Amino acid sequence: MNRSAPRSLDQYLQQLREELAGEDAALIQDALYDAEEYLRAEIAAHPDKSESDVLELIASTYGAPDEVAGAYRDTEAKVKAALKTPVRSTHRTGAGGFFGVFLDSRAYTSLFFMLLSLATGIIYFVFAVTGLSLSAGLAVLIIGIPFFLMFMGLTRVVALAEGRLLEAMTGERMPRRPVHPSAVQGFWARVGGMLKDRRTWSTLVYLVLMLPLGIVYFVTAVTVLSLSLGLIFSPLVELSDRVGWLDRDQVHLSPAWMGSLWALPLEVLAGVLLLTLLMHLARGVGRVHAMYAKALLVAPTSK
């Protein structure tokens, strides 16, 4: 579809947004940030020319919106192909598909994310609650507004860092650039835009809710992991008891019947099945949490 060349920065960005419609929200945010950063720098470097003249000049170097959108699509496809986990030749039916989760690296990184989420949840919760409390307490003082604005700016930095962590753990595409501050609007206009931005408040919601979510993730992972490994290594416990290295009755590790020879194979099998289910659960939790995080931390694709 033919369209007129953009005559202003806002038109260029709007056309680029339209050309990228349907792409990942994180990709669109990165593309808009890069384009706006480059175009503003070029406009500032040519104060003797109008904005439309600079954009016409840039079209031959940086590219028109449709060309830039195509370049981002191609780059994204290459990056995804390079980072994609190699597909192993395993049967995807029956037992092969069920136990094949142990060959998926994302299952391990997602399990690590569940274990790490308690620590990050505490940090995020303390940061959000402390920042909001101090902002409210200092509101009556002249320092209150600057402190609140600094706190809101830091939440965006934390959100960007959380996105990079999630992308490394789950493989879900997250922003690698922040939302551009749009310096041309003026300071107070930018402040108003930040406060009106849904993502500003949804980020705070995400940081607060990470504590209860982190508790659930951590407790689930530790409980199931401990139980499954305990069952898997129960023969070693029984062997240690029989050779005198460990007194089962004294330390009360498990009921006496679990040391029976007929029960040991069943315990190992139950432990392996439980561990496999945990790996599936961890992979699912990673995917669902990444989608939840993207909904709250990533800028909407349309304005």
- Domain assignment present for residue 104? The answer is no
- Domain assignment present for residue 26? The answer is yes
HSE toward the beta carbon, residue 173, CA cutoff 13 A: 15
pLDDT of residue 251: 46
| Mean pLDDT across 292-300 | 85
**d(C-alpha 286, C-alpha 166), whole Å:** 8
pLDDT bin (cut points 50, 70, 90) of residue 248 is low
* Residue 8 belongs to domain spanning: 1-84
- Domain assignment present for residue 59? The answer is yes
- Domain assignment present for residue 124? The answer is no
Indicate the pTM of the whole model. Answer: 0.76
**Top-confidence residue, 234 or 144:** 144
Token pair 């304005």: residue: 303
Q: 112: which 2 tokens?
A: 């690590």
| Mean pLDDT across 31-54 | 84
Please name which of 298, 122, 271 lies closest in space to residue 208, comparing C-alpha atoms.
Answer: 122
Range among 72-81, 205-214, 263-272 with highest mean pLDDT value: 205-214
Residue 246: pLDDT over 80 = no
- Domain assignment present for residue 301? The answer is no
**d(C-alpha 16, C-alpha 55), whole Å:** 13
Give the number of domains in the chain.
Answer: 1
- Domain assignment present for residue 198? The answer is no
- Domain assignment present for residue 73? The answer is yes
| Mean pLDDT across 26-46 | 85
pLDDT bin (cut points 50, 70, 90) of residue 44 is confident
pLDDT over 70 percentage in the chain: 80
Please name which of 178, 199, 183, 186 lies closest in space to residue 33, comparing C-alpha atoms.
Answer: 178
- Domain assignment present for residue 121? The answer is no
Range among 56-70, 72-86, 216-230 with highest mean pLDDT value: 216-230
